[in-house]
Amino acid sequence: MTQPSNGFWFRFFWIPYRAGGHSGPPIFHGRTEVYILNELHQQDKADYGRDIRWEAIRYDPSIQGGVAYAAFADTMPEDYFYPSRRIMIRTGPCVLCIGIVIEPPSE
């Protein structure tokens, strides 16, 4: 199954507040920015985040992780966020989570 062109599924680890993350859990319809981790070292792409909105969230606070679907605020090339791509999601200067793009869940 391929990723929808207007968004992507990802597995994530929510950065705890005590480690510099956000004090609350992921927010349904929250707007954040996503970055490709292996592009952060490239000067021309390091500040190039994509606006996303969290459309579906399965979060387990006991492990501070989960699975979510994010929709892009703008159009993206279909192959840009493919499974196994490592990502970082932040809002402003706060890193919210790190994760990996996955195939859509079967359920």
Quick: pLDDT tens for 3-58.
445 899 999 999 999 998 888 999 999 999 998 887 666 655 555 788 999 999 99
pTM equals 0.86
For residue 99, give both structure tokens. Answer: 């994760």
Q: What is the pLDDT of residue 3?
A: 47
Domain extents in the chain: 7-102
Give the CATH superfamily of 7-102.
Translation factors (2.40.30.10)
Q: Residue 84, by phi and psi: left (phi above 0), alpha (psi -120 to 50) or beta?
A: left
Helix, strand, coil percent values for the chain (each to nearest 5): 5, 45, 50
Residue 68 CB-density burial (10 A; 0-12 exposed, 13-18 middle, 19+ buried) = buried
For residue 53, give both structure tokens. Answer: 């909105």
